[in-house]
Amino acid sequence: MERAKWKTMVLLVALLSPLLFFAAPPNASWAQLPTEINGLVKLKGGFAALENNRSGEAFTDCFAMGSPACNAPGATLNDGTTGFNVGAGLDLPLWLLPWGHVVVAELDIGFSKFSSGKSFLQLIENGPTTLGGATPCGSPRCATGTKPGFPGRPQEPGVRHVNVSTVNAGISPKYRMDTLFGDDRKFRPWIIPVGWELQVFSPPPNSMQMWEIGGVTGVGMDVHVWERIWVGVEGRYHYQYTDHTGIDGNWFTAGGYVGLSW
């Protein structure tokens, strides 16, 4: 119940957040902004961490049970929570505020991989090559770990690698404090109070629903290097507004990026 109230409050803030900027009308339009304020195309990468691991699910490791369908030798739990993140982003400045700060619309996409285990599922390797057909062993079912694979396509018997990953694509309002460290705008800290994301989880959870409507909050800083080249650091927390998947799939990302202003 408390979690539902928390999600409702965050969702309400996300819906109302654009209104926070109306109290300070812009003094310049996007077309009038100088190059050092205008858009930024970014490529980024870094660290990713799940809040909770996804071990014990049907598709991550066949429930990790010892049933005949879930007894692959050499299988490992997909209980890892840390990995890497890669992505890209686009900053589109909207308003130059009277005190020099800028309101930005950010488009962001990312891929995070957290864990890679060998599935406990035996049905793929030890069952028939076609539904209702014979196995390569000439019997209804191959012995555990003995299926030879298809002609010309030798396979590792018994297990298959399963990667736990997430893809996100979203749009967020960003408040960029361009003049916090001086009027030259060489250091630009920023904050994303609340944003919107479409989140896709792989492999599918037990509910078979792979997507969520989620949100993101984050902080970071742009640093000017040379002419149109920028670098930066950032940290983000990705969370779910809905419960389509039935899992707690919240995760963190942190890292750096390289950008080109235009």
Please provide the DSSP assignment of 92-105 as one string: EEEEE-TTS-EEEE
Grouped pLDDT means (10 residues each) for the chain, 262 residues? 53 53 48 67 96 87 69 76 96 88 94 85 51 54 53 52 91 93 91 94 90 94 93 96 86 96 85
Q: Are 145 and 95 in contact (CB under 8 A)?
A: no
CA distance 196 to 176: 18
Tokens coding 27: 């003094």
Q: Give residue 95's pLDDT.
A: 85
- In our burial notation (b when 16+ CB lie closer than 10 A, e otherwise), range 18-56 reads eeeeeeeebeeeeeebeeebbbbbbebbbebbbeebbbe
Residue 125 CA, distance from chain mean position: 31
Q: Give residue 13's pLDDT.
A: 55
C-alpha Rg value of the chain to the nearest Å: 24
Please give the model's pTM, rounded to 2 decimal places: 0.78
- In our burial notation (b when 16+ CB lie closer than 10 A, e otherwise), range 159-168 reads beebebbbbb
Domain 29-122+158-261 sits in CATH at 2.40.160.20
3-class secondary structure, 186: coil
The answer to whether the peptide bond before residue 203 is cis (omega within 30 degrees of 0) is: yes
Q: Which helix (H) or strand (E) holds 32?
A: none
Residue 67 CA, distance from chain mean position: 33
